[in-house]
Amino acid sequence: MHSAHIRFKSIEASDPQLSATSASALAEVLALLAAWLVVGLAGLVRPGSLRFAGRTLFPLGALVSVAIAVVAAANLGAAPTRVVLPFGLPDLPMHLRLDPLSGIFLVLLGAASAGISVFAAGYFRSGEGTPPGLLCFQYHVFLASMGLVLLADDAYAFMIAWETMALSSYFLVIAQHRIAEIRRAGYLYLVMAHVGALAILLCFGVLQGGSWQFTFDAMRGAHLPPAWAGAAFLLALAGFGAKGGLVPLHAWLPEAHPAAPSPVSALLSGVMLKMAVYGLLRVAFDLIGGLPWWWGLVPVALGLFSALYGIAFAAAQTDMKRLLAYSSIENLGLLFTGIGLAMVFRGASMPTFAALALVAVLYHAINHAFMKSLLFLGTGAVLHSTGERNLGRLGGLIHRMPWVAWLTLVGALAIAGLPPLNGFVSEWLLLQAFLASHAVPYPFVNMLLPLGLGLVALIAALAGYVMVKFFGVVFLGRAREAALADAHDAGFAERLGLGWLALGCVLLGLLPAAVVPVLAGVAQWLGVGALPRPAAGWWMLVPLDARQASYAAPVIAATLFAAVAATSFVLRLVYRRRVRLAEPWACGGAGLSGRTQDTAEGFGQPIRHLFAPFFAMRRALPSPFDAEPRYEVTIGDRFWNVLYAPLAPLTDRVAGALAALQRGRIATFLLYALVTLCLLLALVLVL
């Protein structure tokens, strides 16, 4: 048994006072993670009490989230600090470390989960599947496990935290476990989570380089041959890509996100997917270090394809939450693209542009946490108010749910990449990095990479198209069902949670000049490169050189506000006393109704035609003899049909064949054990 005290040891620090501060910060973060667990355990005291969970525990969890974000943000520039916990395996205690990379993702975790927890305080209802106290326990274990993933400094601690994160989120996904469809979605999620975890475990096995030391420090010091380093990177890409929804490992994401309660969907998409981004950054830029530049082309290609694939499917969806789930595949594709681009620039000895690409990745990770969480929570408010997820049965809700509508609009505009909100900043930085790809000193590659610029622009345009469909069909126009007249706005706690996330979208969009230097410091700490720091002021973002590009978000915001205000004032003056109320133009008809306006299917039809090879479409043609002829189009996923659907019968056959091993006499089982032992001994002797 290891010593009973926790040993703090600062690394890479030259200032003793700074080291003590860093150690204190790590202790505070650990204490706050423990506080999340305490809040969760308190839910088990009164598992059936919705009032106790909603009015006490979830708000306390939100306060812990804010505290984690504040502590992590205050220590982003401090020296990395390590702690060795007094429990674990023999000769393998748990090593934890707080450094700038884990710190920036802790800020993301704390800031985004604060708004989600406040919203959850008013969202959950009794009688909806899992009892509220048990749900509170699973929820806060999920949060604490993600925090532990970010602090883990050895393979053992990382995998324990990773598996805890997967299992706790699985139980959250199947909160309404009485529904068979939700149970199937949860099972698929759990299977894919373990497939990814197996790839990550194998990656760590390769990274230890034969030393059989599984601390991250030992992996950093291992000198792997190029082939083994490449194998470790591919395993990491597969493992973290499965968790992040990288195509073709995305099958679980559009199933699990709609099945989960909306606050859980927000955590899954807004926060948990970023654990995959963190993991790949940790392996590629910290544990492996210097990979050849051409390895970066793999995540660039997969990321661009995933982004285009995800946004095309999002445009064709008629379910609100599935639309947002496919949108998450698009955004994670952009993040993996930026990681690959940073690897190419770093390997090509272009450190400034590598730092720019990595800053774009970190910024977009934070932005997506706020934008997508806000959108999922907005759909949750709509779902609770109307009982509908189908876009074809919604419409006109801005009149019944103005708070939800206007706050959700902030998220929709942000994720569409419109200035002056935050989504524009990170996509603009990624485009700036792509603009430099022509200078990569490798023939043919410097011609192919700039094509990514056009794809990113196309993906951004399609994202705007999807958000117009999403917001327009749900909130604008007329109600498509009479029951929508009973819709009601969100409660106070839900509005507060939505407002927190909307405020984050606005501030991250207006103050990029304050955020980018912090993220550039993380990139510099990783050894990727440094960005120049021109004296442009708090209001002007100049990522490289003012002659190349600059962006003044406050000026754009002020200009837009002034233009809207001036236009409204002029129109009021011109049309005062000339306003006439009348039926809208109805093509000569007697008037419009909810049934005569554009539908979600009609809105997505051009995209279905343009990207038809992506979809496995089935058309059900009506018969002229039907009493109510109906034309239906079902959109399927080709990857599901080709890769996943055939695995079910194959698995059944293999399981049936192996079942014979479970039957027989005790002598047969002893023979199996003897043969296995001999094979293992022979393998050890050979190695």
DSSP string, 74-104: HTTTSPPEEEEEEEEETTEEEEEEE-HHHHH
217 token code pair: 């420090």
Q: Indicate the DSSP class of residue 80.
A: P
168 token code pair: 């706790």
What span, in angstroms and rounded, lies between the C-alpha atoms of 371 and 575?
37
What span, in angstroms and rounded, lies between the C-alpha atoms of 38 and 366?
27
Beta-bridge partner residues of 215: 154
Phi, psi for 597 (deg, rounded to 5): -95, 165
Model confidence pLDDT, tens digit, residues 396-444 = 889 899 999 999 999 999 999 898 999 999 999 999 999 888 888 888 8
- Looking at residue 436, what is its pLDDT? 86
Task: Find, among 112, 116, 97, 166, the residue nearest to 138 by Cα.
Answer: 166
- The answer to whether the CB of 400 falls within 8 A of the CB of 487 is yes
H/E stretch holding 97 reads strand 92-98
Phi, psi for 527 (deg, rounded to 5): 80, 15
Other beta carbons within 10 angstroms of residue 144's beta carbon come to 25
Determine the distance from the C-alpha atom of residue 166 to the mean position of all C-alpha atoms in its chain, rounded to a whole number.
Answer: 14
- The answer to whether the CB of 289 falls within 8 A of the CB of 219 is no
Q: Indicate the DSSP class of residue 3.
A: -
- The answer to whether the CB of 338 falls within 8 A of the CB of 79 is no
- Looking at residue 535, what is its pLDDT? 60
- The answer to whether the CB of 551 falls within 8 A of the CB of 512 is yes
Q: Strands 81-89 and 92-98: what pairing?
A: antiparallel
581 token code pair: 């109320």
3-state secondary structure of 552: coil
What span, in angstroms and rounded, lies between the C-alpha atoms of 492 and 291?
51
What span, in angstroms and rounded, lies between the C-alpha atoms of 98 and 24?
11
- Looking at residue 389, what is its pLDDT? 86
Q: Strands 632-637 and 615-620: what pairing?
A: antiparallel
What span, in angstroms and rounded, lies between the C-alpha atoms of 299 and 306?
10
Phi, psi for 623 (deg, rounded to 5): -95, 140
Q: Indicate the DSSP class of residue 56.
A: I
Q: How far apart are the first and last CA of the chain?
A: 30
What span, in angstroms and rounded, lies between the C-alpha atoms of 163 and 159?
6
What span, in angstroms and rounded, lies between the C-alpha atoms of 559 and 512?
17
Other beta carbons within 10 angstroms of residue 579's beta carbon come to 7
- Looking at residue 126, what is its pLDDT? 66
Cβ-in-10-Å burial (0-12, 13-18, 19+) of 234 comes to middle
Cβ-in-10-Å burial (0-12, 13-18, 19+) of 292 comes to middle
Other beta carbons within 10 angstroms of residue 456's beta carbon come to 23
3-state secondary structure of 53: helix
Tell me the H-state helices in 398-482.
402-415, 422-435, 445-475
Cis bond before residue 554 (omega within 30° of 0): no
383 token code pair: 């779902």
Task: Find, among 543, 97, 259, the residue nearest to 268 by Cα.
Answer: 259
Cβ-in-10-Å burial (0-12, 13-18, 19+) of 464 comes to middle
Q: Which of left, alpha, beta for 418 (phi over 0: left; psi -120 to 50: alpha)? A: beta
Q: pLDDT under 70 in the chain at which residues?
A: 1-22, 126-128, 534-536, 546, 575-595, 619-632, 660-664, 687
What span, in angstroms and rounded, lies between the C-alpha atoms of 416 and 465?
8
326 token code pair: 């496919």
Give 389's contacts (C-beta < 8 A, 6+ positions apart): 258, 319, 320, 321, 379, 383
Model confidence pLDDT, tens digit, residues 635-666 = 778 888 888 878 777 777 887 777 766 666 77
- Looking at residue 173, what is its pLDDT? 93
What span, in angstroms and rounded, lies between the C-alpha atoms of 544 and 331?
24
- Looking at residue 590, what is its pLDDT? 56
Torsion of CA 60, 64, 69, 75, to 10 degrees: 150
CA distances from 389 to 290, 481, 483, 605, 671 (A): 47, 13, 14, 20, 57
Tell me the H-state helices in 611-665.
638-639, 647-658
Cβ-in-10-Å burial (0-12, 13-18, 19+) of 446 comes to middle
What span, in angstroms and rounded, lies between the C-alpha atoms of 78 and 74?
9
Place of tokens 């406040």: 118
Q: Indicate the DSSP class of residue 485.
A: G
Helix and strand totals (H; E) in the chain: 25, 5
Phi, psi for 36 (deg, rounded to 5): -60, -45
- Looking at residue 674, what is its pLDDT? 86
Phi, psi for 433 (deg, rounded to 5): -65, -40
Q: Which of left, alpha, beta for 83 (phi over 0: left; psi -120 to 50: alpha)? A: beta
**pTM for this predicted structure:** 0.89
